[in-house]
Chains A and B, each alone.
Chain A
Amino acid sequence: MPTSAAISRVRLSQDELQQLKWLLGQLLALIAMWSLWSLNSIPSGLILIFILGIGAVTLFPHLIGRIPDWVNKAATPALILIIAVDFILHGANFLDPMVRMVGFLTLYRSLQFRKRREDLQLLLLTLFTLIIVGVLLVSISFAVQMLIFTPIAMGQLFLVNLLEQANERILAADDWRAFSWRRFFIRLRVGLDFRLIAFAGVLFAIVVAISTVIFISLPRIKMDQAIPFLKMQANAGIGFSDTISYGTVNELLSGDDRVALQVVVSEPDKIPTRPYWRMVVLDLYEPASSTFRVSTAARQFANTRLQEGYRYVNQENPQRYLGGHTVDEMKFYLEGNVSGYLPLIGPFESISFPQRMKFFAGEEFNVFELDAPSATTLGYSLSNVALGESLQTSRREERALNAIFGAPILIEEYSASIRDLSYPETTLIVPVEGEDLEFLQAAVKEITNDQKLSAQEFSRRAFAWLSENYRYALSTGLPDSERSDHLIHWMRNANTGWCEHFSGAFIMLARTAGFPARAVAGFAGASWNDYEDFFVVRNRMAHAWVEIYDGNGRWLRADPTPSTSHLFGNMDSGLQGAMLTESGWGAWLDSVRMVWYRRVINFDQQDQEEIANNLRDISVSAFKEFRMQFTTKWKSFKSWLTEGWNVAKVRDVAVIVALVCFSILALRMFYQAFMTWRSARTHEGVRAVNDPIRRKAGRVLTRFRPAYVNAQQELRGEALKPWQSIYEDLLKLRFGDNPSTGSWKNTLKAARRLMRAGVKTVDRGEGALETAES
Chain B
Amino acid sequence: MSRPPPESATEPTPPPEYNVTDWADAGMHVAKRKVGRSIWRFLWMFIVPPEGHRIAVTPAGFVHMMVCVGLMSAAYASSSNNILFMALSLVLSTLILSGLLSWMNFRGGRWRVLLPAHFRVEEPAPITVELWNTKRVLPTCCLWVKVRSSKQKDWERLYLEERLDPDQQAKLEWLFTPRERGVEEVQISGLESQFPFGFLRKTMGAGVTRTIVVTPRRIDYEFRSPVGHRGHQLGAFTRRPGAGAELMNIRRYQRGDPQRVVHWKATARLRQLMVRQMEEENRDGFIVFVETPASIWQEAAQFEKLCSFAASLAEDLFREGRLVGVAINDQPLLVVKRLHDLQLFLEMLARATPTSSYQSAGEHYGGNLITFKPGAKQQVHAYLSGNLSGSA
Residue B284 at the chain A interface, CB threshold 8 Å = no
> Is B63's beta carbon under 8 Å from chain A?
yes
A230 to B77, CA, bound (A): 12
CB atoms of A207 and B10 under 8 A apart: no
- Chain B residues near A702: list those with CB within 8 A: 32
- In the complex, what distance in Å separates the CA atom of A138 from the CA atom of B19? 61
Which residue of the partner chain, among A1, A120, A158, contacts B19 with CB atoms under 8 Å?
A1
Residues of A within 8 A of B1 (CB): 765-767
Q: Which residues of A contact B76 (CB under 8 A)?
A: 221, 223
Question: Inside 8 A of B196's CB, which chain A residues have their CB?
Answer: 154, 157-158, 161
Q: How far is the CA of A165 from the CA of B163 in the complex (A)?
A: 12
Contacts of B93 in A (CB 8 A): 207-208, 210-211, 214
Q: Are A735 and B163 in contact (CB under 8 A)?
A: no
A160 touches B166 (CB 8 A): no
Q: Which residues of B from 85 to 114 have beta carbons under 8 Å from A?
A: 85-90, 92-94, 96-97, 100-101
Give the CA-CA distance A211 to B159 in the complex, in Å: 33
Interface size on A, residues (CB 8 A): 76
User: Of B12, B76, B86, which is in contact with the most chain A CB atoms at under 10 Å from its CB?
Assistant: B86
What is the bound-complex CA distance between A142 and B81, given in angstroms?
14
Residue B83, interface by CB 8 Å: yes
A740 close to chain B: CB less than 8 A = no
Q: What CA separation (Å) do A765 and B2 show in the bound complex? A: 8
By the criterion CB–CB under 8 Å, are B96 and A210 in contact? yes
B197 within 8 Å of A by Cβ?
Answer: yes
Q: How many residues of B contact A (CB 8 A)?
A: 62
How many whole Å from A310's CB to the nearest CB in chain B?
8
Nearest-CB distance from A208 to chain B (Å)? 8
Contact among B2, B32, B60 for A120, CB-based, below 8 A: B60
**Cβ contact within 8 Å between B168 and A6:** yes
Q: Using an 8 Å CB-CB cutoff, how does the interface string of A705-733 with B read, 1 for contact, 0 for none?
A: 00000001000110010001001100100
- In the bound complex, residues from chain A placing their C-beta under 8 Å from that of B60 are 120, 157, 160-161
- Chain B CB within 8 A of A162 CB: yes
A367 to chain B, nearest CB (A): 25
- Kindly state the separation between the CA atoms of A223 and B12 in the bound complex, as whole angstroms: 77
- Interface presence of B383 (CB below 8 A): no
Contact A218 B89 (CB under 8 A): yes
Q: Residues of B contacting A720 with CB < 8 Å?
A: 12
Known contacts A2-B168, A157-B198, A162-B141: A356-B18 contact under CB 8 Å: no
What distance in Å separates the Cβ of A372 from its nearest Cβ neighbour in chain B? 16
Q: Indicate if the CB atoms of B15 and A203 lie closer than 8 Å.
A: no
CB pair A131 B87 closer than 8 Å: yes
Total contacts A to B, CB within 8 angstroms? Answer: 175
Interface residue? B185 (CB, 8 A)? no
- B86 lies within 8 A of A215 (CB): yes
Query: Inside 8 A of A735's CB, which chain B residues have their CB?
Result: 18, 20
In the bound complex, CA of A160 to CA of B20 (Å) = 35
Q: Nearest CB to that of A603 among chain B residues?
A: B82
How far does the alpha carbon of A142 sit from the alpha carbon of B67 in the complex, in Å? Answer: 18
Closest Cβ–Cβ distance, residue B94 to chain A (whole Å): 6
A724 to B15, CA, bound (A): 8
* Known contacts A1-B19, A160-B198, A717-B10; A207/B97 CB under 8 A: yes
Task: Please encode chain A, from 130 to 144, with 1 for each CB lying within 8 Å of some chain B CB and 0 for all others.
Answer: 110011001000110
A355 at the interface (CB under 8 A from B): yes
Question: Least Cβ distance of B16 to chain A in Å?
Answer: 6
Q: Shortest CB–CB separation between residue A133 and chain B, in angstroms? A: 10
Q: Residues of B contacting A154 with CB < 8 Å? A: 94, 97, 196-197
B169 on the A face (CB < 8 A): yes
Q: Which of B5, B77, B197 contacts A229 (CB 8 A)?
A: B77
| Cross-chain pairs A/B with CB under 8 angstroms, 15 sampled | A6-B165, A146-B90, A154-B97, A154-B197, A164-B198, A166-B161, A210-B89, A215-B86, A218-B89, A222-B79, A355-B81, A601-B82, A686-B166, A702-B32, A731-B16
